[in-house]
C-alpha cells in the first residue's frame, strides 16, 4: 500500500507517536511524507520514507498530484485546525483531491487508528482501492 504521511508542526509529536506505535504495521508499505514530517519519521524509526518538499514549499501540492495520478492508497494528514497556515489553499486542495479520488484519509489520531486497524488495510477483505 502507498501511504502519504503529513503533519503540521503542532501535530508532529502526535504523528511520531502514531508512527512509532504502528511501525511494524507500516513496515511492509511504501511511505511518502512531506519533508519535515518524513525527516522526523526517519529519525524516530527504521522505516524507509520517500521525502517530498516541505508542505508550504509545494509538498502538499506534490501529495495532491500523487493522489490525482492514482499513486496514493491512504493518507494520514494531521493538520492543525487552530493555527492558520500560509498554505491553507494547498491544504484545502489536497483534502479536496483525497475526497474526489476516494483516498481513505485520516485527519486525526483516532481516525488513523481506525484506518490502520481495518481488515481492508491488511488486505484481508477485498481490494484496498475501489472496493465498495
Residue 41: DSSP 8-state: H
Beta strands, E only, 27-119: 30-33, 49-51, 74-78, 105-106
Helix-strand-coil percent breakdown of the chain, rounded to 5? Answer: 45, 15, 40
Element of type H or E holding 110 = helix 109-117
3-class secondary-structure state, position 52: coil
All three cell numbers of 77, joined, read 494528514
Q: Is 88 a catalytic residue?
A: no
- Residue tagged active-site, from 9, 60, 90, 113: 60
- Contact predicate 121/115, CB 8 Å: yes
Catalytic residues: 60
Amino acid at each position: 500500500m502507498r501511504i502519504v504521511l503529513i503533519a503540521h508542526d503542532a501535530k508532529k509529536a502526535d504523528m511520531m507517536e502514531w508512527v512509532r506505535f504502528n511501525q511494524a504495521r507500516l513496515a511492509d508499505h511504501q511511505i511518502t511524507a512531506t519533508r519535515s514530517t518524513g525527516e522526523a519519521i526517519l529519525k524516530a524509526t527504521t522505516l524507509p520514507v520517500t521525502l517530498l518538499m516541505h508542505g508550504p514549499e509545494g509538498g502538499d501540492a506534490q501529495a495532491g498530484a500523487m493522489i490525482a495520478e492514482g499513486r496514493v492508497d491512504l493518507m494520514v494528514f494531521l493538520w492543525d485546525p487552530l493555527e492558520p497556515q500560509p498554505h491553507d489553499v494547498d491544504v484545502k486542495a489536497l483534502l479536496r483531491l483525497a475526497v474526489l479520488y476516494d483516498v481513505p484519509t485520516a485527519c486525526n489520531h483516532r481516525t488513523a487508528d481506525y484506518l490502520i486497524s481495518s481488515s481492508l488495510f491488511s488486505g484481508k477483505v477485498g481490494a484496498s482501492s475501489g472496493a465498495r
